[in-house]
Amino acid sequence: MNQLFNVLLVFGLTALNAIVPLQRNDVQKFPIYTIESGNILTDNQTTILVQIKDLNDTTLRFQPDIDGNLTIFPDLNSLNWQISESYDTGFDVGSEQYVNFGFFDFQAAVLYVYKQVNIAPSYWHLYECQPRYDENGTGIFSASGTTVSDWSKITFIPGVVDEVCYGNQRSSQSFDCKTSNTTCQFGADTIADHTYGNDLLIAQGSKLDAAGLKLRIANFGPVYDIANWRVFYGWDDEDFLYLKRYNGGFGKGQESNIAINDYIVAYQPIDCSTEIEETTSAEECQCPEPTDAAYSTDPRTQLGGICYVEPDDPSPDDPSPDDPLPDDPLPDDPLPLDGSGYTRAAWTIIVVVLLLPLLSMW
């Protein structure tokens, strides 16, 4: 009866899902990159799908306040990246582009909210340590080698280094990335001590309205508006708050009429051993096997979850594991007979006795 009930329950839920599909939020796709041969950025053709949570979800990374507003920076005056020591409007136009186009602010803001570090990112580390080409041979930097052609290919894989440590001048040779054990420009620390964020992911998306922008800020933090060189960091009523550079100068602004064509966000992958939720995708954290110990604790393995595996029902002829096994009779022992068995045996003897004389006549 219990097995029949479980079968009917699963069938009913399946039918209900077919009639009334589950309402799921959008997802943000984060491609997985690796760096090959030192300067080739390779797309592994795999993505992590991150479910975008609603604004009323209590597990949001960045929670709106009681009035429904949100800002990820408590005090803009406390930010240490308002000025870049590497900013130059002369020969090294790459540093000018990095700051004026807002990607400098985006990387700094991402590190601030995800890693709790307050630094000015080094342009020269980006210039010397980022891959120069993707796997198709397309240049990530322009022909001059100093400006960036595609910001979505400037990943966090090499990390971001504090410019106070890396220095505000290029190395003696072009693209000579300083090793992690190199001593900082000032002090006894090494570059490795001031490299941050190399476990962060980056993704490019398109077409955001006001509602979509709010969801991205609440789920991922800073949103880089590629075309307009702005970094959105919150909202106040109907006005969205953003950072923007004006000839290198640090500035801020507000806008209510939002339509973003292309944007970039970052994401800190979760710890699959402790932070899995019902909405965690299988791409982000693989589903455990039913025989794994993690299967009993993974919330996605509940009935209807993406990792749920239907248990195998035992055959009706198979004995239940709880049934006692009968004692095996010895091979030479006759099988016991009940009353009906004795009756059948007696009639068999009678028939044989009656038929044998008749057969002998033939």
In a domain, 180, yes or no: yes
- What is the C-alpha separation between 241 and 263, in angstroms, rounded? 15
Examine the domain organization and report whether 292 and 165 are in the same domain: no
Examine the domain organization and report whether 181 and 295 are in the same domain: no
- What is the C-alpha separation between 296 and 280, in angstroms, rounded? 16
Examine the domain organization and report whether 73 and 107 are in the same domain: yes
Cβ–Cβ < 8 Å for 95, 149:
no
Examine the domain organization and report whether 192 and 82 are in the same domain: yes
- What is the C-alpha separation between 30 and 351, in angstroms, rounded? 85
pLDDT at 146: 84
Examine the domain organization and report whether 126 and 175 are in the same domain: yes
In a domain, 119, yes or no: yes
| Helical H segments across the chain, by residue range | 2-19, 93-100, 103-114, 123-129, 163-166, 210-220, 339-361
In a domain, 178, yes or no: yes
Examine the domain organization and report whether 288 and 248 are in the same domain: no
* pLDDT tens figures, 12-69: 444 444 433 333 458 999 999 999 886 899 998 889 999 999 999 998 999 999 999 9
Total-model pTM: 0.76
Who wins on pLDDT, 171 or 106?
Answer: 106
Who wins on pLDDT, 79 or 270?
Answer: 79
Who wins on pLDDT, 208 or 344?
Answer: 208
pLDDT at 275: 83
Examine the domain organization and report whether 292 and 226 are in the same domain: no
Answer whether residue 279 shows pLDDT above 70. Answer: yes
Q: Indicate the residue among 214, 244, 267 that finishes a domain.
A: 267
Answer whether residue 141 shows pLDDT above 60. Answer: yes
Examine the domain organization and report whether 120 and 145 are in the same domain: yes
pLDDT averaged over every residue in the chain:
84
In a domain, 58, yes or no: yes
Q: Mean of the pLDDT values across residues 273-287?
A: 84
Q: Give the highest mean pLDDT range of 14-23, 197-206, 327-336, 345-354.
A: 197-206
Examine the domain organization and report whether 242 and 122 are in the same domain: yes
Answer whether residue 9 shows pLDDT above 70. Answer: no
Count other C-beta atoms under 10 Å from residue 313's C-beta.
10
Lowest-confidence range among 59-63, 92-96, 171-175, 228-232?
171-175
Lowest-confidence range among 87-101, 190-204, 322-336?
322-336
In a domain, 143, yes or no: yes
In a domain, 19, yes or no: no
Examine the domain organization and report whether 177 and 251 are in the same domain: yes
Domain region containing 290: 277-309
Q: Mean of the pLDDT values across residues 318-337?
A: 56
In a domain, 137, yes or no: yes
* pLDDT tens figures, 217-252: 999 999 999 999 999 999 999 999 999 999 999 999
Examine the domain organization and report whether 299 and 207 are in the same domain: no
Please tell me the total count of domains within the chain: 2
Examine the domain organization and report whether 241 and 292 are in the same domain: no
CATH number for 123: 3.90.70
pLDDT at 258: 92
pLDDT at 285: 87
In a domain, 200, yes or no: yes
Q: Give the highest mean pLDDT range of 84-88, 223-227, 280-284.
A: 223-227
Who wins on pLDDT, 328 or 210?
Answer: 210
Q: Mean of the pLDDT values across residues 269-283?
A: 84
Lowest-confidence range among 98-112, 186-200, 280-294, 347-361?
347-361
Which string of b and e fits 78-96 if b means at least 16 CB within 10 Å? ebebeebebbbeeebebbb
